[in-house]
């Protein structure tokens, strides 16, 4: 129950600009019906205490457990409706002037102003109430309140004009930056054209050199032939003495040429030694720079946090209802629209709550903050660009684990595996991550590093491990796969009877993804026609070696597509098929709860971490501890009908985002 407000206070909340003043009060006597209603206040004299209790009821209790956004534009409209309903009863023949149909809504005001104006009405004393026959006095009070509200409206108009000026200035800056970008693109095109021209000139020069070399060879052959003919003529004309002198001169020339060649060989030998020393020095420097890059790269990732949470909202699909305006908002950061979005605001309406007038209660807004928020228009390339540096940490020897969490139909599998093949823009994180790793490994080969990659793909269905890469008669034999340690003294975990496939190119990875997609357990649910009912874990074991320096590093990269996180429906009628869905949902919720407990235990530095409570956490325990880097994508649906599941997913992700697991350590030998 809200406290009853006086007509003046209610009219104060309903003031709109350009409202015509009410007509002057009439001096004619009241009608007969009005005269009859005059004694009504005297009829209730027997129960004054009840009316005072009903008028001054206790203020509604406010839930302070969660911060709420201030009510801005809805409060004046609610007060105006209440005032429009009660004011005619108390003012007699002067009804309030109706607002024009094309009247624009009053701009929302900051949160401090409604709070300050509402405080006297809630906690202070009520102003003196004029008698019902004093219509002229009531009209004067209303006009005074109307003048005050008009002044406030003018103040808000001036503030609105200032904001428009700021917007115009920002647009001018954007145009200037666009012009500068165009000039830079033109300069880049000119430089590229010059480079292409240089390449063409270089090709023509190479062709000219080859042509001259061929002509030189022909000329040399002709010279040799003429020399032989000359010698034959000399042999015929000269005597043996002349031939002997000729041989002596040739011998002297050969000795001079030999000495000159020996000097050149010695010079080249010295240059070779100097080049080898310089090459070794530069190799040492390059290695030092690479180690420094890895250190700075890891330091940057630690500053971002070893547990990061990204939120991604999928777009509305064809045939789905469009969400109402204001249902999902992405507030800008402290730096304005130029900052990357990191906050999400979701509104939820509750039909069970209503005001005293019977109008529905305003929606409740929930605000969340994450390391990065991707609106529905964000593409797969934008998402991968944000995690590319984290994926590269696996090459440096740091275990990396990336999750996709959310309800069924929120876009988890699309984020990890991508859409239909053939469209490079729809590729998921798995093919993009492996392409990035192959490219970086090829670049590192020039520095002496060699890398090998071994892939495996399993799913955990009802706490049973299945190999998604199984072929032939081994398909569906999940009971044969168990999680075991690789050796008696090894901390590395392996899945028995699972295929571990060496990969070296994108084509091999795509073949594995197609095979895993065919073998994964799916079923029809209320949220999705083809829903994944298991956790899929793509593991890539990376091994690197620098033979010249005796360095080795190795770490796993885990890309996990979790099953749908929706809760059980207690009103569901259990048929033969629904019982299977019930068991699947129970197993999924149990493993997701264990995952949350493991992360909280790691954050709280608890001595015991319940890895073995779930096959998922037991398989990933080496990628969840203090030496690992984790990232969780919380995927949510933009539909209003899924707001309950979206709120549960966002709250779980917020708890994970608050965890800190310490500093990661590279696996180097």
| 648 contact partners, CB below 8 Å, separation of at least 6 | 565, 567
Is 410 annotated to bind ligand? yes
3-state secondary structure of 451: strand
As given in the structure block, the two tokens for residue 485 are 């340690």
Alpha-carbon span 382 to 425, nearest angstrom: 10
Alpha-carbon span 344 to 329, nearest angstrom: 6
Is 525 annotated to bind ligand? no
Residue with tokens 């002997």: 244
List 368's β-bridge partners, or say none.
Answer: 344
Is 283 annotated to bind ligand? no
Alpha-carbon span 66 to 345, nearest angstrom: 14
Spatial contact of 632 and 401, defined as CB atoms under 8 Å apart:
no
Residue with tokens 């009405």: 121
Alpha-carbon span 546 to 650, nearest angstrom: 44
Is 221 annotated to bind ligand? no
Alpha-carbon span 379 to 423, nearest angstrom: 12
Residue with tokens 């994944």: 532
Nearest to 9 by CA among 56, 101, 79: 79
Is 147 annotated to bind ligand? no
Question: Helices 429-444 and 506-519 meet at what angle, rounded to 10?
Answer: 150
- CA neighbours within 13 Å on the CB side: how many for 338? 6
Spatial contact of 635 and 335, defined as CB atoms under 8 Å apart:
no
| 41 contact partners, CB below 8 Å, separation of at least 6 | 132
| Pairing of the two strands 483-485 and 464-467 | unpaired
The count of residues in the chain is 669
Region at 18 (left for phi over 0; alpha for psi -120 to 50; beta for the rest): left
Is 178 annotated to bind ligand? no
Is 408 annotated to bind ligand? yes
Is 413 annotated to bind ligand? yes
- Binding-site residues from annotation: 406-413
- Binding-site residues from annotation for ATP: 406-413
């Amino acid at each position: 129950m809200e406290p009853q407000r006086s007509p003046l206070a209610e009219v104060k909340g309903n003031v709109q600009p350009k409202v015509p003043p009410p007509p002057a009060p009439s001096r004619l006597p009241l009608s007969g019906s009005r005269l009859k209603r005059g004694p009504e206040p005297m009829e209730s004299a027997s129960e004054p205490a009840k009316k005072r209790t009903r008028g001054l009821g206790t203020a509604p209790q406010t839930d302070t457990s969660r911060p709420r956004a201030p009510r801005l534009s809805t409060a004046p409209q609610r007060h105006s409706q209440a005032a429009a309903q009660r004011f005619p009863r108390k003012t007699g023949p002067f009804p309030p002037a109706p607002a024009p149909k094309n009247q624009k809504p009053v701009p929302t005001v900051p949160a401090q102003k409604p709070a300050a104006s509402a405080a006297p009405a809630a906690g202070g004393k009520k102003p003196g109430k004029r008698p019902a026959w004093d219509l002229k006095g009531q009209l004067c009070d209303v006009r005074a309140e109307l003048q005050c509200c008009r002044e406030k409206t003018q103040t808000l108009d001036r503030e609105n004009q200032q904001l428009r000026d700021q917007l115009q200035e920002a647009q001018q800056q954007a145009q200037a930056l666009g012009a500068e970008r165009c000039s830079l693109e033109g300069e880049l095109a000119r430089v590229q054209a010059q480079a292409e021209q240089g390449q063409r000139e270089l090709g023509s020069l190479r062709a000219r050199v080859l042509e001259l070399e061929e002509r030189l060879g022909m000329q040399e052959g002709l010279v040799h032939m003429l020399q032989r003919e000359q010698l034959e003529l000399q042999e015929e004309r000269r005597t043996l003495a002349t031939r002997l002198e000729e041989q002596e001169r040739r011998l002297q020339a050969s000795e001079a040429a030999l000495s000159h060649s020996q000097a050149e060989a010695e010079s080249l030998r010295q240059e070779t030694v100097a080049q080898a020393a310089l090459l070794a020095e530069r190799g040492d420097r390059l290695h030092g720079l690479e180690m420094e890059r890895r250190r700075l790269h890891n330091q940057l990732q630690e500053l971002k946090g070893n547990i990061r949470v990204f939120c991604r909202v999928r777009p509305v699909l064809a045939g789905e209802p469009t969400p109402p305006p204001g249902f999902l908002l992405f507030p800008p950061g402290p730096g304005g629209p130029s900052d990357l979005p990191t906050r999400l605001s979701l509104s939820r309406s509750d039909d069970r709550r209503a005001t005293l007038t019977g109008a529905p209660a305003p929606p409740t807004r929930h605000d969340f903050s994450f390391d990065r928020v991707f609106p529905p228009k964000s593409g797969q390339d934008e998402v991968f660009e944000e995690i590319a540096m984290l994926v590269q940490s696996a090459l440096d020897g740091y275990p990396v684990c990336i999750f996709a969490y959310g309800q069924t139909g929120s876009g988890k599998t699309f984020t990890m595996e991508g859409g239909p093949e053939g469209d490079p823009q729809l590729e998921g994180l798995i093919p993009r991550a492996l392409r990035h790793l192959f490219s970086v490994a090829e670049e590192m080969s020039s520095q002496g590093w060699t890398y090998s990659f071994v892939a495996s793909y399993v799913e955990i269905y009802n706490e049973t491990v299945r190999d998604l890469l199984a072929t032939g008669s081994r398909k569906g034999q999940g009971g044969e796969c168990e999680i075991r340690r690789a050796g008696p003294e090894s901390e590395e975990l392996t899945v028995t009877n699972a295929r571990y496939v060496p990969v070296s190119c994108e084509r091999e990875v795509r073949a594995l993804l197609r095979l895993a997609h065919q073998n994964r357990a799916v079923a029809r649910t209320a949220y999705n026609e083809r829903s994944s009912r298991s956790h899929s874990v793509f593991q890539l074991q990376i091994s690197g070696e620098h033979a010249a320096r005796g360095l080795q590093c190795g770490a796993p990269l885990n890309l996990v597509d979790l099953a749908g996180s929706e809760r059980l429906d207690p009103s569901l009628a259990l048929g033969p098929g629904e019982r299977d869905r019930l068991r699947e949902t129970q197993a999924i919720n149990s493993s997701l709860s264990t995952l949350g407990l493991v992360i909280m235990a790691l954050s709280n530095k608890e001595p015991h971490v319940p890895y073995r409570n779930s096959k998922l956490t037991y398989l990933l325990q080496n990628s969840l501890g203090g030496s690992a880097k984790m990232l969780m994508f919380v995927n949510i649906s933009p539909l209003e009908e899924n707001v309950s599941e979206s709120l549960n997913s966002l709250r779980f992700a917020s708890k994970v985002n608050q965890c800190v697991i310490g500093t990661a350590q590279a696996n180097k030998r």
